[in-house]
Amino acid sequence: MGGLSIWHWLIVLLIVVMVFGTKKLKNMGSDLGGAVKGFKEGMKEGGQPAEDKPASQVTNAQAPDKADKTTIDVEARQKP
């Protein structure tokens, strides 16, 4: 009585699709996948010794007051 059956989950899924739409859910899924991929790559890089890192990363770490001033618009990269 306290658990949710498959019918409850299907109704919830239907409501979510109706509210957000399939295109928005597809974009959210790809964004989440990219975030997970970036996290995994960051974890792999975190285990490497400092001498293996490229010079640009070491330079930025040593001079935090000279931060990169460029910005990237994520929306501009997505295909229409």
Mean pLDDT of the chain: 74
3-state SS of the chain?
CCCCCHHHHHHHHHHHHHHHCHHHHHHHHHHHHHHHHHHHHHHHHHCCCHHHCCHHHHHHHHCCCCCCCCCCCHHHHCCC
Q: Residue 29's pLDDT band (boundaries 50, 70, 90)?
A: confident
Query: Is the CB of residue 24 less than 8 Å from the CB of residue 32?
Result: no
| The model's pTM | 0.39
Cα(29)–Cα(33) distance, integer angstroms: 6
pLDDT at 16 over 80: yes
Cα 67 from Cα 60, distance rounded (Å): 7
Round to whole Å and give the CA distance between 58 and 48.
Answer: 13
